[in-house]
Amino acid sequence: MSLDGFVAGPNQSVENPLGVGGMRLHEWVVPLTAWRKTHGMAGGEVNESSAVVEESVANIGATIMGRNMFGGHPGPWDERNPWNGWWGDNPPFHHPVFVLTHHLRQPLMLNGGTSFTFVTDGIRAALEQARGAAAGKDISLAGGAQVCAQYLKAGLVDEMEINLAPTLLGSGERLFDGVGDDLHGLKLARTVAAPNVVHLKFARG
Amino acid sequence: MSLDGFVAGPNQSVENPLGVGGMRLHEWVVPLTAWRKTHGMAGGEVNESSAVVEESVANIGATIMGRNMFGGHPGPWDERNPWNGWWGDNPPFHHPVFVLTHHLRQPLMLNGGTSFTFVTDGIRAALEQARGAAAGKDISLAGGAQVCAQYLKAGLVDEMEINLAPTLLGSGERLFDGVGDDLHGLKLARTVAAPNVVHLKFARG
């Protein structure tokens, strides 16, 4: 999230899913060994952010995301030529992913253990399916902003890691739009200062 | 500032200048010895925030603020019964304060070394007057949000301390409204984690 509260820049599109300037929110993570590893790349840097990234991917059994984060395609998908999102043939999740959408679709089974299951009956149904798939492990809420806001507002978030980039975007998509004035029991639990980012972990007090 | 970017809650008024919920942004500072001292009170607590507060008031020779921060009164002021703001007879500044307003008024000289001078010809004129009064010391930009945004946008801010309260206000006055996507050379220079607040100091790189 930017210092002014945006998690994506303006004018998001299939060509530029992060929006104008949105890449500036991720500059801290791309050089890290911990991030490169989940994307099948060797090498990289180690710094104060490394343990935060490692923690964020440890013990995750399922992921939930909105359809924009899956692939930006509004659907309905054409069965003869389906759009499989922008995660490629071997997405970096390596576990079941549940995509909130209004358009029914058969699950996608991809390489490396990632599947995409499309859920059309809301955030609680998606959470229930993810719980089943996770088999006791944690569930990651990957985004985008609207999906995060829905889960926050429903009080269904147990932990929240804000990776605060010390920059302004000026416009775009706000993480907390419509959430109101209530973090539903989440309290600041840990702060890590690192190059180009401050990590703020919230948890139940 | 709240996690969602507000420096005051909604429905600000003379009775509630911080707006609904706005006091939650200041809960970290009120118990501190360093804050109580500037307000003429003994006792209090010492924690990780203390040095930050002490730094913020050290070596200040003049302060600039908007008219809402002076006293919320829209003016013009009635000369026979002037409104002297809500800072009382002995304001906590103890140096010259320059108030940006559209209404000319004679300077106010109060106890303890605080004066209020009313500037009607814009932010650069106020800065010039404050520079003269500060005689080489630093100038504090006290707020509110609109005045800070104007100085930021003009590239006239050399240091910025964001005291980030880990809470949501949901609505109110945003610090960075209208600033755009440019911090004009300010970079994150120091992070301090403290009870109920994270201090983010920005300075020229």
Q: Any chain B CB within 8 A of the CB of A18?
A: no
Whether domain B20-71+91-204 has CATH 3.40.430.10: the reply is yes
Tens digits of residue pLDDT in B83-124 = 677 788 889 899 999 999 988 888 999 999 999 999 999 999
- The percent of residues in chain B predicted with pLDDT above 90, rounded, is 77
pTM for the model stands at 0.92
Pairwise CB contact (< 8 Å): B166 & A198 = no
ipTM: 0.91
Q: For the domain with range A6-10+18-72+90-204, which CATH number is right: 3.20.20.210, 3.30.360.10, 3.40.430.10, 1.10.3210.50?
A: 3.40.430.10
Q: Any chain B CB within 8 A of the CB of A203?
A: no
Pairwise CB contact (< 8 Å): A191 & B168 = no
- Cα dihedral A52, A54, A59, A60, rounded to 10, equals 80
Residues of A in contact with B184 (CB under 8 A): none
Residue B40 CB partners (closer than 8 Å, separation 6+): B90, B92
Per-residue pLDDT at B87? 84
Report whether A117 contacts A129 (CB < 8 A).
yes
Per-residue pLDDT at B26? 96
- Please tell me which of the candidates A171, A180, A198 has its beta carbon nearest to residue B168: A180
For chain B, domain boundaries: 20-71+91-204
Name the token pair of A20: 């104008």
* B154 CA: distance to closest CA in chain A (Å): 15
